[in-house]
Amino acid sequence: MSTKPIRVLVVDDSALMRKVIPQILETDNSIHVVGTAIDGNFGLKKLEELRPQVVTLDLEMPGMGGLEMLKEIMRRHRVPVIVVSSHSTQGASVTLKALSLGAFDFVAKPTDVSTRMQEIARELISKIKAAAQSRGIQIQSELDLPLPVPRAKGKPGAPKEPTRIVAIGISTGGPQSLQYMLAQFPVDFPGSIVVVQHMPEGFTDMFARRLDECCSLNVKEAQSGDLLQAGRVLICPGSRHIKVKKLPLGDIAILSDDPQVNGHRPSADVMFKSVAEEFGPKAVGVLMTGMGEDGANGLGMLKAAGGMTIAQGEQSCVVFGMPKAAIERGHAMRVVDLDALAGTIQAHCRPGRAEQGSKAASAGKE
């Protein structure tokens, strides 16, 4: 195993950030900051000279801004980029744009950078290490794709009871992968989808709106009491947990502020456990690209309750941490690459499929 430190370039127009980020990173001796740059133009020159393995990038800079630099990096270098983003609405919007252009991941700056930057130190270090080991973005970025066409939505009518509840846990690499997958579902998809995407508060609402624009299903940020309807996707808000509840008048989502689980809120394990307890054989659990092990044990609970469990295959994951943990523990009944995930989920949500319970699930093993 190589013991050479990971070479990082820090690009930020703030003199404070160009001082603080290197100080934070170099507390970990497996990381070496090879240089800093004040804007995109300098950043690209330093990239050529210093050949870093990972770039941290501020998006709001004078001169050549972060998005322009990111496009050039994706076009010419394919070096993983971690965006250091502001918490504002504008910051969330431009951050999601950066992820769609191929940024590896992002960390949100604390509001008081000078005193609270240490709070994100561990997160930034772990994401840099994951980026250095990653396979890079496996699916096409927006640079290679035509602009998304607004998709036809179903005509509003009486909410339909779903054939199955599909619970999806996802982290690093998630925004692009989810957009790619959800765009493949037809307007008459009979299941209801609940998603835990590891993302801070303030980013999930805009993320849900972006997804809603580019797929036929109705996507929204979840609120407590939202009905689990056929053709609806609920995205758990950042820094809340999501659970589900069967009620006589309709099945609903419930949000909570319980403590973090596996270092996360939202946590995929919390969602999977709740879906397993409430829906058992009527559930489909899907664990997709992401760092760490969140969701692996919850997927096991779902399998034990008679649900179908699916893990994303290694070749199509940006980071294979979460699916790998589930597969190694024997909790994934199917292992499916990204391009076949939508079709596999649809097959398990066909009317009649849910009633067959765990027999159908067992038959789906490969």
Could you give the residue numbers annotated as active site?
171, 198, 294
- The helix or strand, by DSSP H or E, that contains position 310, with its residue range, turns out to be strand 308-312
Q: How far from each other are the two terminal CA atoms of the chain, in whole angstroms?
A: 34
241-245 and 252-256 beta bridge pairing: antiparallel
Bridge partners of 105, per DSSP, are 82
The answer to whether 218 and 232 have CB atoms below 8 angstroms apart is yes
Tokens of residue 322, six digits: 């979460």
The answer to whether 137 and 62 have CB atoms below 8 angstroms apart is no
For residue 354, give the 3-state DSSP assignment: helix
Only one residue has tokens 């930020």, namely 12
Q: Which residues have CB under 8 Å from 338's CB, separation 6+?
A: 138, 139, 177, 180, 181, 288, 312, 313, 316, 317
